[in-house]
Amino acid sequence: MKEEPKTAIYFKLSNNSPVDDRYTILCSNSEDYDIEVGHPRIISADPSRRRRTEVKKSNPVRLEAGSYASYTVTVSAPENLVSGRSVIVNCVASSEAEQMIEFIRLTEMNDPDL
């Protein structure tokens, strides 16, 4: 069985607020491909704990003031890619105080070696 082509997108979400906050991450795409938001890796604002990262199996995730989380978003496309077709991935990070939206444009390429 042939594995579906996958594309990984990496991003960081920072809590620049002076108070702790909860963030929810939701992602979708224009072609309705399978999409998965991975578990966040939390990096503390405290310099003495910065070398240690903590993986949280949670969405939403609580970020301490000044800390950040790194995420991997995986998009799985079907086998029948259309060379040149654009797929728009949009990710929304929301908290009680704010909402951030990021759009990423991917272009499909048909690779005969896959």
Question: What is the C-alpha separation between 80 and 84, in angstroms, rounded?
Answer: 12
Around Cβ 27, how many Cβ atoms within 10 Å?
20
Around Cβ 103, how many Cβ atoms within 10 Å?
9
Instruction: Give the CA angle between residues 106, 110, 114 to the nearest 5°.
Output: 110
Structure confidence at residue 22 (pLDDT): 95
Q: Spell out the SS3 assignment of the chain.
A: CCCCCEEEEEEEEECCCCCCEEEEEEEEECCCCEEEECCCEEECCCHHHCCCEEECCCCCEEECCCCEEEEEEEEECCCCCCCCCEEEEEEEEECCCCEEEEEEEEECCCCCCC
Structure confidence at residue 113 (pLDDT): 59
Spell out, as residue ranges, where the chain has pLDDT lower than 70: 1-5, 49-52, 110-114
Structure confidence at residue 58 (pLDDT): 84
Structure confidence at residue 108 (pLDDT): 85
